[in-house]
Amino acid sequence: MRRTLPSAAGWVLSAVLLAARPQVAFAQGPMPKVEFDEAVARALDKNPTIAQAMTAITRAEAFVAQSRALTLPSVSASVTSVTLDGSRGFEGTTTQPQSQVSIGGSVNYLTGKWYAANQAKDQVEVATLSVGEVRQQIAVATAQAYLAVIAARRQVQVAETSLEAARAHLDYAQKRLEGGAGSRLNQLRAAQAATTDEGRLELFRLAMLRAQEALGVLLVNDGPVDAGAEPSFELPADQDLATLATTRPDMLTQAAIRRAAEHVVKDHWTEWAPFPSLSFSPVAVAPAGLFQPGRSWSFAVNFAQPIFDGGQRRALLRQRQTAVEESKLAFISLEIQARSDVRVARDSIQYLERALAIARTSADQANEVVRITTSAFEVGATTNIEVIDAQRVARDTETAAALAEDAVRRAKLDLLVALGRFPK
């Protein structure tokens, strides 16, 4: 049975939950910072989940060695010492000495178990390719955690800019109030807007810290890790869907599972074939008895052929054939899903890039409205309610633009993953 692997979102969620647990505070130095490629490489090198997956390969290799042992001769030796109350014999002739030592050996060879070793080798291939799936899951989870830090940092920057504008407006309203030209109401409105932005900034800083902790968990670091520069995802020019079966780790693993199931069905004829077993047993006895020579040996060839088993072998064949059909259907389903993943990711990039361009234009327009509204307020042509509204709209549009930027980055990552081109 193939083990179900957690998704990249599952890895990120697990890392966030671990990072969010209450911890004892320790004095820490400056937060380490890593670049994107370094983060992925460190996660693949240090994350214990990959080491756990590697144990499946070791276990499968042990099964191969165990199965191969069945195809080799087995050799055993024995030493037996027998002491009677007295010697045995008749008419002065000793037929059985009182003390006798016999040394024997046995060489046995059971033919026809070669297919078990080949089937075990198939499981090694499946386990090895499954590790590739786990590596991709860890790499994708690390990449998403890295992008989450960048997105959170961008939100912090937007919140800081909004807070600076709100505080500047509050300072202006406070000075007008102190100079007798403003009102207490205008000052309170400006203070409320600044307080709201300050609270939002604290929440975004917390979100960034949690994202940094999640990245640290994936990098097996005892503390948060900050992300460096924004990664540049180079999309391959060749995005042929026909190559997915040779690039995606999950499809490679499923193909190996299908081949292993087909080999088991192909070798089913061995359940019906009579395979001989060979045995050679030399014996040395001292002292020799009358009816027991000092040296002897025996060689035996045995053929065993099961004739009637109540239909057990036929039922086993149907079960194995069903496993083959299930693996084929699973591969077809996975292939359909893989093609869909590529198309969705490819189209998402186009839509999201257009949405990002629109969001940036909207943010520029909103910032221009803030400048015009602020200038008009300073000359008394409008109220501070319009200024606060313009600042709130500008903050929201900048936030939407930051979210659109993150969505584009994630869509590019999704396309690389769907094509089986990540990690490299």
The answer to whether the beta carbons of residues 413 and 144 sit under 8 Å apart is: yes
In this structure, is residue 69 part of a structural domain? yes
Alpha-carbon distance of 232 to 212, in angstroms, equals 20
pLDDT tens profile 24-68: 333 356 899 999 999 999 999 998 888 888 888 888 888 788 777
**What length is written for the chain?**
424
In this structure, is residue 90 part of a structural domain? no
Q: What is the average pLDDT score of the chain?
A: 87
Phi, psi angles (nearest 5°) of residue 325 = -65, -40
The answer to whether the beta carbons of residues 205 and 12 sit under 8 Å apart is: no
Q: Which residues contact 250 (CB under 8 A, 6 or more apart)?
A: 5, 133, 136, 334, 338
Alpha-carbon distance of 302 to 282, in angstroms, equals 18
In this structure, is residue 403 part of a structural domain? yes
In this structure, is residue 88 part of a structural domain? no
In this structure, is residue 164 part of a structural domain? yes
Alpha-carbon distance of 343 to 196, in angstroms, equals 42
pLDDT tens profile 219-267: 999 999 999 999 989 888 877 888 898 899 999 999 999 999 999 999 8
Alpha-carbon distance of 403 to 207, in angstroms, equals 14
In this structure, is residue 278 part of a structural domain? yes
Owning domain of residue 36 = 8-20+32-80+100-418
Phi, psi angles (nearest 5°) of residue 197 = -65, -35
pLDDT tens profile 292-315: 788 889 888 888 888 888 888 899
In this structure, is residue 92 part of a structural domain? no
Strands, E assignment, 15-139: 33-34, 74-83, 88-90, 93-96, 99-110
Alpha-carbon distance of 156 to 210, in angstroms, equals 13
pLDDT tens profile 82-97: 888 888 777 777 778 8
Domains in the chain, number = 1
Question: Does a cis peptide bond (omega within 30 degrees of 0) precede residue 423?
Answer: yes
According to DSSP, residue 272 is labeled T
Supply the CATH number for residue 140's domain: 1.20.1600.10
